[in-house]
Amino acid sequence: MQKILSLLRKASTTYSLIENGDKIAVGISGGKDSLTLLYALKQYQRFAPEKFTLVAIAVDLTGGKNDYKEIEDFCKGIDVEFVVVPSNVFEVVFDIRKEKNPCSLCANMRRGLLNSTAKSLGCNKVALGHHKDDFIETFLISLFFEGRLSTFKPKSYLSRVDLNVIRPLIYCDENDIIRVSENFPVLENVCPADKHTQRQSAKDIIKNLDKLYPNSREKIFNAILHKERYNLLDKD
């Protein structure tokens, strides 16, 4: 956890992710990434130069089928308020709309519910558990499936809802998150599309690239982050 905290602080300092007076809603999917983020932010709160508060929000996509009791207890144990938002997102995406590529619609609906709940609770920021591997995978998804050079930002302002979205784990490796989350109450992934998504394809691409060209993952990450390395046609 010490490494995670060090990299979280680096990200916060580099991109001004956490500031005095923030009330941060941590999006809880029930997976290892979001639970690690919540725990790390709570630990960081103890020694951070900034004074901020936390609330954990889980959007239940399953229409009440998920059992959040262990996560609720986990949040009580670290003294963080926990809110569950009921929804029928899976029913809409898979049963009603029967989406062939469900991830985009699901993500948009989930984000909308998360952001509106965060606003209703007086939060000015939403923290998501995206890490270094997600950053690279999103870049490859945009490149190979959309023909764009794009990925998410460490910090984004949503003008329509007046919220900042922050990603404090941007420098953290997924393998480190896996190690520190071993004893966290991780929910089983019940998404019908699990392991059959563009993101899974991107994971496989990175794995194969690293076999062919060792350290490809780190080189892609650094190439994106360091603008001075860009050599692309400008818009003019």
Mean pLDDT of the chain: 92
**Per-residue pLDDT at 178 exceeds 90:** yes
- Residue 231: pLDDT band with limits 50, 70, 90: confident
Look at residue 154 in the predicted model and tell me its pLDDT: 96
**Per-residue pLDDT at 67 exceeds 70:** yes
Q: What are the extents of the domains in the chain?
A: 2-229
Residue where the block lists tokens 């899974």: 200
CATH superfamily of 2-229: HUPs (3.40.50.620)
Q: Give the alpha-carbon dihedral of 70, 71, 75, 76, to 10 degrees.
A: -30
Mean per-residue pLDDT for 102-127?
Answer: 92
- Residue 233: what are its φ and ψ, rounded to 5°? -60, 135
Please say whether the dihedral angle defined by the alpha carbons of residues 113, 119, 123 and 126, taken in this order, is positive or negative.
positive
- Residue 47: pLDDT band with limits 50, 70, 90: very high
Both ends of the chain: CA-CA distance in Å? 46
Assigned token pair, 222: 């650094």
Q: Give percent of the chain above pLDDT 70.
A: 97
Look at residue 235 in the predicted model and tell me its pLDDT: 60
Look at residue 40 in the predicted model and tell me its pLDDT: 98
Beta bridge partners of 85: 59
**Per-residue pLDDT at 107 exceeds 90:** no
Look at residue 168 in the predicted model and tell me its pLDDT: 98
Mean per-residue pLDDT for 2-29?
Answer: 97
pLDDT digit string, tens, across residues 149-174: 999 999 999 999 999 999 999 999 99
Residue 199: partners with Cβ closer than 8 Å, 6 or more residues away:
103, 137, 141
Look at residue 98 in the predicted model and tell me its pLDDT: 72
Look at residue 147 in the predicted model and tell me its pLDDT: 93
- In this structure, the number of other CB atoms found within 10 A of the CB of residue 138 comes to 18
pLDDT digit string, tens, across residues 179-215: 999 999 999 877 777 666 888 899 999 999 999 999 9
Residue where the block lists tokens 């490859």: 140
**Per-residue pLDDT at 94 exceeds 70:** yes
Three-point CA angle 23, 29, 33, nearest 5°:
85
* Distance separating alpha carbons of residues 118 and 22, to the nearest angstrom: 12
